[in-house]
Every structure is written in structure tokens, then in C-alpha cells.
């Protein structure tokens, strides 16, 4: 080979060998570790990206569920408002089977006899114990007999004569304690029922047919108000008279009506 070509070839060979010499300066195990670490980081990054996408999808699903629940809540609220509106309409409607004239007569009776209440919407009458009986007794007072005589007169007049009557006795939650009272009325169940029977006898004695009448005693278990004070207990001691349409069952008493 000519000498003029030998030197350039040697230089070229030396240049080509330089990268190889540089590579040999980094141990191969370190290169492998770096490559393995790079692969690990790459895999972790892909896993994190996948988890992120899953979380984003889950958040979207939860947002959709929340929106659906909100819409359902608004729908239920609207339905509840509608139901309450219908209930208020029903409450405001007169459910009493009594004629307007009979209702007016009972309202007049309530004005003349303190302790007697009449609800023209339902036709229910409530008579407090102190107007009817002495404490622990089922014997009607003279004033109670006068009231019930006029009550019977209204029940026997006109269309009211076709209506049925349910008499319901109530007591407070004070237990029957006196021996004399206990011998006649062993407990408040007996006392409430016996008082209702006394009212029924007074009405039948004034001309109301017994075939139109029924009796119930609830003892202390249907209070108008919580029995926490003497005045509250006095309100709970009462007799209620329900006037029912001819087709109504005597057993179909609505306890909600008794606490209005």
C-alpha cells in the first residue's frame, strides 16, 4: 500500500474505534440496570395512566348517578307536594254525614253547653268528663242528661234519623285506685266502656233506636294530648259520639279523627 494512503487509513481506523472505547468505559451491568429501571418506570407510568382513566370513568359514573339521584329527589319532592295538596283538599272537604241544619243545631248545642265540642267537618262530638260524670263514676249528671236529651232530639230529626251512632269512652292514665270505684270499674278499660254505655242508655231513653248505636271503650290509650298536666288529663277524660252514614261499619273508627 502506498505510504500516502496508509496514514489516512490508520486515522480512520482510530476514529472508528473511539466509540467502542467509550462504551467499554461503562460496565454492562450498569447499563442493564438502567434499562431495567427505565422499563419499570415505563410500566409504572402506563399503570398509573390506566388507573387515572379508571378513576375518571368512575367519577363520570358517580356524577351521572348523583345527577340521577338529584332528579329522582326532585321528582319525589314534586309527588309529595302533590300528595300533600290532595290531602289538604280532602281535609278541607266536609266528611260529616250530617245535614247543614243538623250541624247548625249541634253547633248551637256546643255554645250552650261548655265542655261539649262539635266538629262540623267530621260530625264528631266530644263531651268532657266534668260535664258528664263525677270522678270515677259512670252515673250521668243532671246537666249531662239534659244535654243528651237535646242531642237525641237532633239525631231523631229529618235525615239524621237514618244515621248510626258510635259512642266511645276515654279515660286519662291515672289508675283506678279507690276500693269503691274499683269494685264497679276494675280498671280504666271498664270505666271508659261503662261511661260510654251510660251515654248510650241516655240516648236510647230519649228515643234513639238501639239498632243505630254501638259502644266502645279505649281506656287511656287514645289520648287527645300527652297526659303530663292536670289540664291535659282533664282533656283526655271524655266521651266521643261519632255520627256515621248508614253504610259505615261501627268498627271503622278512625283514631286520627279523635285527636283533631
Which of 168, 169, 156 shows the shortest CA–CA distance to 98?
A: 156
Question: 107 with 209, same domain?
Answer: yes
Could you give the C-alpha distances from 245 to 107, 122, 260, in angstroms and in order?
19, 11, 20
Whether residues 111 and 213 fall in one domain: yes
Confidence of residue 249 (pLDDT cuts 50, 70, 90): low
pLDDT of residue 5: 43
* 59 and 136 part of one domain: no
Q: Would you call 11 exposed, middle or buried from its count of C-beta atoms within 10 A (0-12, 13-18, 19+)? A: exposed
Q: Which domain holds residue 196?
A: 100-259
Tell me: do 56 and 164 sit in the same domain. Answer: no
The tally of domains found in the chain comes to 2
Q: Are 200 and 167 within 8 A, CB to CB?
A: yes
Which residue, among 234, 241, 246, has the nearest Cα to 257 in the 3D structure? 241
65-94 residue pLDDT tens: 888 888 888 887 787 777 677 656 545 545
The pLDDT value recorded for residue 75 is 83
Residue 1: inside a domain, yes or no? no
Question: What is d(CA 259, CA 46) in angstroms, rounded to the nearest whole number?
Answer: 70
Same domain, residue pair 172 and 154: yes
172/190 same-domain check: yes
Look at residue 141 in the predicted model and tell me its pLDDT.
95
**Is the four-CA dihedral 16, 17, 21, 27 of positive or negative sign?**
positive
Do 120 and 23 fall into the same domain?
no
Q: Report the C-alpha gap between 102 and 79 in whole angstroms.
A: 38
**Of the candidates 58, 92, 126, which is a domain's last residue?**
92
Instruction: Return the percentage of the chain with pLDDT > 70, whole number.
Output: 80
Is residue 2 a part of any domain in this protein?
no
- CA 133, distance to chain mean position in Å, is 36
pLDDT tens readout for residues 39-53:
888 888 888 999 999
Query: Higher-confidence residue: 158 or 76?
Result: 158
Q: What is the pLDDT of residue 248?
A: 64
Residue 4 lies inside a defined structural domain of this protein: no
pLDDT of residue 87: 57
pLDDT digits (tens, 9 = 90+) for 207-228: 999 999 999 999 999 999 988 8
CATH number at residue 177: 3.30.1330.60
Q: Which residues pair with 238 in a beta bridge?
A: 128, 170
Q: Which three cell numbers stand for residue 166?
A: 258510635
Over residues 175-202, the pLDDT tens digits come to 998 998 899 999 999 999 999 999 999 9
Amino acid at each position: 500500500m502506498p505510504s500516502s494512503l496508509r496514514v489516512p487509513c490508520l486515522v480512520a481506523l482510530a476514529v472508528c474505534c473511539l466509540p467502542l472505547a467509550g462504551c467499554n468505559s461503562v460496565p454492562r451491568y450498569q447499563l442493564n440496570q438502567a434499562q431495567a429501571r427505565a422499563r419499570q418506570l415505563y410500566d409504572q407510568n402506563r399503570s398509573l395512566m390506566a388507573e387515572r382513566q379508571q378513576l375518571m370513568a368512575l367519577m363520570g359514573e358517580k356524577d351521572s348517578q348523583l345527577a340521577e339521584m338529584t332528579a329522582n329527589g326532585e321528582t319525589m319532592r314534586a309527588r309529595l307536594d302533590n300528595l300533600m295538596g290532595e290531602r289538604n283538599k280532602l281535609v278541607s272537604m266536609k266528611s260529616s254525614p250530617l245535614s247543614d241544619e243538623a250541624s247548625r243545631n249541634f253547633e248551637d248545642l256546643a255554645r250552650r253547653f261548655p265542655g261539649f265540642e262539635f266538629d262540623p267537618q267530621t260530625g264528631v262530638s266530644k263531651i268532657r268528663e266534668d260535664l258528664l260524670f263525677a270522678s270515677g263514676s259512670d252515673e250521668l249528671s243532671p246537666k249531662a242528661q239534659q244535654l243528651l236529651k237535646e242531642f237525641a232530639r237532633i239525631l231523631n230529626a229529618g235525615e239524621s234519623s237514618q244515621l248510626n251512632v258510635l259512642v266511645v269512652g276515654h279515660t286519662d292514665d291515672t289508675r283506678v285506685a279507690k276500693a269503691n270505684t274499683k269494685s264497679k270499674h276494675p280498671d280504666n278499660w271498664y270505666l271508659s266502656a261503662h261511661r260510654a254505655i251510660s251515654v248510650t242508655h241516655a240516648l236510647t231513653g230519649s228515643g234513639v233506636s238501639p239498632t243505630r248505636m254501638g259502644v266502645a271503650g279505649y281506656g287511656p290509650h287514645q289520648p287527645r294530648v300527652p297526659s303530663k298536666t292536670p289540664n291535659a288529663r282533664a282533656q283526655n277524660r271524655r266521651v266521643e259520639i261519632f255520627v256515621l252514614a248508614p253504610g259505615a261499619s261501627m268498627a271503622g273508627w278512625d283514631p286520627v279523627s279523635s285527636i283533631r
